[in-house]
Structure 1
Amino acid sequence: MKDDEFRPKLGKIGSRGSKAGKRYAGQVRAAINRAGGRPQRGGRFTGSRTGRGGAAAALLKSRDRYAAFRQRRVIVKARVVKLAGKGADGARAHLRYLQRDGVTREGEPGELYGADSGRVDGKAFIDRADGDRHQFRFIVAAEDGIEYDDLKALTRRLMAQMQEDLGTKLDWVAVDHFNTGHPHSHIIVRGRDDRGENLVIAREYISSGIRERAAELVSLDLGPRTDREIELRLRREMEQERFTSIDRRLLSMRDDDGLVSPGGPDAIRQTLHQGRLRKLERMGLAAEVGAGSWRLDDELEATLR
């Protein structure tokens, strides 16, 4: 403190502040937090944007929500796998598993491909990754993937867009599987950038950015979803035993008492809400507590995810 700086301190002379005063200050801060008035000091650091792609993920998140509602849906599952110790052996085994018999439309073994080649040597890819700290594994499944005769072009466009977002070339291989109800692509990306440094991708880009980019591409190919397509998807969601967009909407509709009234802007939405609540009731995750009022289980989302 400077010689001419003066800070007044309230209270008795010589007092350093009572415990009661500290408790009261804590109560005041708690009340402010409960009221939503917590002071922000530059925002809490979460690390979600640390790494490449953080800016792109933030931009995608801020786009027009109506456009996003019309956009085609894509599911992306991601894993970061360490290659130290037995990890390299696991990577080889995983690559062999992806190329197993019966995964193509014709029941043939899966074939690895890359950015410029329709057939890639998996052993050469693993050899190049010798000494890598980690690798990324993605599964990309478009809801309307059945509309594609071949997923290779879509995957290559997605990876090209990811390279642009991440600001580096990517060393990757992929294989397409058609042995489930939803055609999907398995993509393996080396954990090195084009300068040989460890590739660190922002958590937010992994969790949402890749999905948004893939959805953009599918929407460009097939056009935005029509009202009829959206309604059919929501009707299928009514009976799903997983967390759905209807569940998310019902949670947001809860009043101050935690109750939900299954209304909606139109008869279709009201029917969807009512049907979903009945399904949740059979699963033990919702209970009707009065005429038109429902209480959702506090662990609804955690249970269904």
Structure 2
Amino acid sequence: NDPDALLLIRRLLGYLPQNNQDEAPRGAGTDPPDRMEAALDSVVPDDPHRPYEMREIITGVVDDREFLEVHAHFAQNLLVGFARLDGQSVGIVAQQPAVLAGALDINSSVKGARFVRFCDAFNIPLVTFVDVPGFMPGTAQEHGGIIKHGAKLLYAYCEATVPKLAVITRKAYGGAYDVMSSKHIRGDLNLAWPSAEIAVMGPEGAIDIIFRGELARTQDQEATRARLAADYRQQIANPYIAAGRGYLDDIIEPRETRPRLISALRMLRGKRDRNPPKKHGNMPL
């Protein structure tokens, strides 16, 4: 109804600056910046195939647990919206593992690209929560141009000059990992939880390629697959390997996420980053 719509508009405008030359709104936060959220330690299931609700992580991190989600009914495998950290307005982009396992498809790529560019246009810092198993496979996605549309999200993150913070909560596989505000595309702060898995592909697909011969010879396929998958996670997808190569700034306990993000935002308030002196780039359309 009209009163609800007006209240929603008022909330939305509270996150936005007066114009594109102003800084994003920043007020006195009412939620302690050093608050540790112990509940975050148990949100991600031990079973990597089990879904969970990403909104629990977002609301556990942001000020007063307030997250204004936008485009909520479109491409629900990607969440976008506005929140505050220590009173600072931020844009949130996050995979939703409860829908399509959080995989990026055409619609979610376009949704994310538009939101990232909007935040960059109005000087709103970006906070990305990553749990992405890859791009959605299938002939329908390929015929629809998944590479072209996925490149829009990649381009948007590459082009953005606002502070860009990212937290990998679980899966970060293949090209989709690169797209989600990774260090490879000018991410300012990249953190991971101990549950993170960073690799070219997931264990199940990788062992079919790497250990094809061993799987063909084994008598107990199930036990061998389980052992090889565990080895892959430990020796290849382990986040400490990515951190050792400089792809992560730190690996933190989930409860530390809020104070670490706030500390980074404070550090990045004076960030100055300019793109090459052209009127605009050539976005993949």
Normalising by structure 1, we get a TM-score of 0.20
Normalising by structure 2, we get a TM-score of 0.21
